[in-house]
């Protein structure tokens, strides 16, 4: 089992992290109706539910804290290296 993210679009990093319908769902802000509609859709489509969970898990594996910290350090060091060569 897993949890399908349902988040408000345009809030925080939601639009950056969640690809609507792929690894979660984005709803308009302040729209409980849209959230309820998404939950109903997921309850009626086991295939969609399972696919979104799989894609969410894959995203989580690709963006662990260790991997994100490594990317940040790579970026910082490349910028520093560029300053020393310029």
| pLDDT of 82 | 86
86 confidence band (pLDDT: 50, 70, 90): low
10-30 pLDDT per residue, tens: 999 999 999 999 999 999 999
CA distance 26 to 28: 7
Mean of per-residue pLDDT scores for the chain: 94
Show the tokens assigned to 19.
Answer: 């690809």
Domain boundaries, position 54? 6-85
Q: In this structure, is residue 64 part of a structural domain?
A: yes
Domain count, the chain: 1
Q: In this structure, is residue 51 part of a structural domain?
A: yes
At residue 23, φ and ψ (nearest 5 deg) are -120, 15
């Amino acid at each position: 089992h897993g949890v399908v993210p349902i988040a408000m679009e345009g809030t925080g990093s939601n639009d950056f992290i969640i690809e609507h319908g792929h690894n979660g769902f984005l709803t308009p802000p302040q729209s409980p109706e849209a959230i309820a509609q998404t939950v109903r859709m997921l309850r009626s489509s086991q295939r969609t539910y399972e696919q979104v969970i799989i894609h969410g898990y894959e995203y989580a594996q690709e963006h662990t804290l260790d991997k994100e910290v490594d990317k940040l350090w790579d970026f910082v060091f490349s910028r520093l290296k560029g300053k020393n060569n310029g």
